[in-house]
Amino acid sequence: MLSHVIPPPRGYTKAPNSLVRHPRLGSDAKVLVLYVQGLPEEDRDKALGEHARALRMTGRAYQKAKSDLVTHGYVHEKRESLDAGRWRTVQVFSNEPLTADQAARVRAGVPADGYGNVGPSARPDAWPAPSTHSPTVGEPTGRTAGGQLPADEERGEDSSHPPTEVTVETESESQEQEQEQEQEREQEQDPGQGRDLDPDLVQDPDPAEVLLAERVLLSLRHQTRELSLGVREARKLGALAAEWLRRGVSAGDLRLALSSALPEGGVRSAFGFLAHRLVEKLPPHPEEAADLLVAAEPAPSPPLLPIACDGPGGEHMFRPHASWVTTCGPCHREQQRAHWADALARAEADPEPPRPPWRELVAAEARAGGGVEGPPGYGTRATAT
317: β partners? 308
DSSP secondary structure code for residue 88 in this structure: E
pLDDT tens digits for range 91-100:
888 888 988 8
Centroid of chain to Cα 145? 45
Res 59 pLDDT > 80 = yes
pLDDT exceeds 80 at position 382: no
Instruction: Taking residues 62-72, report their average pLDDT.
Output: 90
List pLDDT tens digits, range 142-189: 655 545 544 444 444 454 555 444 444 445 555 555 655 554 554 444
User: With pLDDT > 70 as the criterion, what percentage of the chain qualifies?
Assistant: 67
Mean of the pLDDT values across residues 353-365?
88
Rounded CA-CA distance 282/249 in Å is: 10
> pLDDT value at position 340?
92
- H or E segment and range at residue 91: strand 87-93
For the chain, list the domains and their CATH numbers.
17-126 (1.10.10), 193-290 (no CATH), 307-348 (no CATH)
Q: Assess whether pLDDT exceeds 70 at residue 372.
A: no
pLDDT tier at 132, thresholds 50, 70, 90: low
Q: Between 207-218 and 231-246, two packed helices, what is the crossing angle to 10 degrees?
A: 120
Q: How many CB atoms lie within 10 A of CB 154?
A: 8
Which pTM was predicted? 0.32
Query: How far is 377 from 123, CA to CA, in rounded Å?
Result: 103
Q: Would strands 307-308 and 317-318 be described as parallel, antiparallel, or unpaired?
A: antiparallel
**260 — phi, psi (to 5°)?**
-100, 155
Residue 378 above 60 pLDDT?
no
Q: Are 239 and 275 in contact (CB under 8 A)?
A: no
Question: Quick one: pLDDT at residue 292?
Answer: 57
Q: How far apart are CA 59 and CA 49, in angstroms?
A: 9
CA-CA distances (angstroms) from residue 299 to 285, 292, 302? 24, 14, 9
Q: What is the pLDDT of residue 164?
A: 47
Residue 291 clears pLDDT 70, i.e. is over it: no
Stretch 191-220: mean pLDDT:
68
- Average the pLDDT over 235-261 and give the result: 87
pLDDT for res 223? 83
Q: How far apart are CA 70 and CA 88, in angstroms?
A: 18
168, 146 Cβ separation under 8 angstroms = yes
Backbone angles phi, psi at 370, to 5 degrees: -85, 170
Give residue 175's pLDDT: 57
Q: Answer yes or no: is pLDDT of 119 > 80.
A: no
User: DSSP label at 317?
Assistant: E
User: What's the rounded mean pLDDT across residues 250-255?
Assistant: 88
Q: What is the pLDDT of residue 113?
A: 60
What pLDDT, on a 0 to 100 scale, did the predictor assign at position 341? 92
- Give the separation between CA 80 and CA 221, rounded to whole angstroms: 39
Adjacent-strand bridge partners of 87: 81
Among residues 114, 117, 101, 115, the alpha carbon closest in space to that of 172 is found at 101
pLDDT at 16 over 80: yes
Interval 262-284 mean pLDDT: 87
Per the CB < 8 A criterion, the answer to whether 72 and 97 are in contact is yes
The full DSSP string for 259-307 is HSS--TT--S-HHHHHHHHHHHTPPPPHHHHHHHHHHHSPPPPPPPPPE
pLDDT tens figures, 191-205: 334 344 455 555 666
The full length of the chain comes to: 385
What CA–CA distance (Å, rounded) separates 174 from 331?
101
Pick the more confident residue, 224 or 369. 224
Residue 337 predicted with pLDDT over 80: yes
Taking only Cα atoms into account, the Rg of the chain, rounded to an integer number of angstroms, comes to: 44
What pLDDT is stored for residue 121 in this prediction? 43
How does the average pLDDT of the chain come out, rounded? 75
- pLDDT of 22-50, one tens digit each? 988 899 999 988 888 888 877 777 888 88
The pLDDT value given to residue 194: 39
**pLDDT for residue 371 is more than 80:** no
Sign of CA pseudo-dihedral 113, 123, 120, 17: negative
Closest CA to 311 of 342, 289, 333: 333
| Contacts for 266 with CB less than 8 Å, ≥ 6 apart | 58, 59, 226
Give the separation between CA 254 and CA 274, rounded to whole angstroms: 11
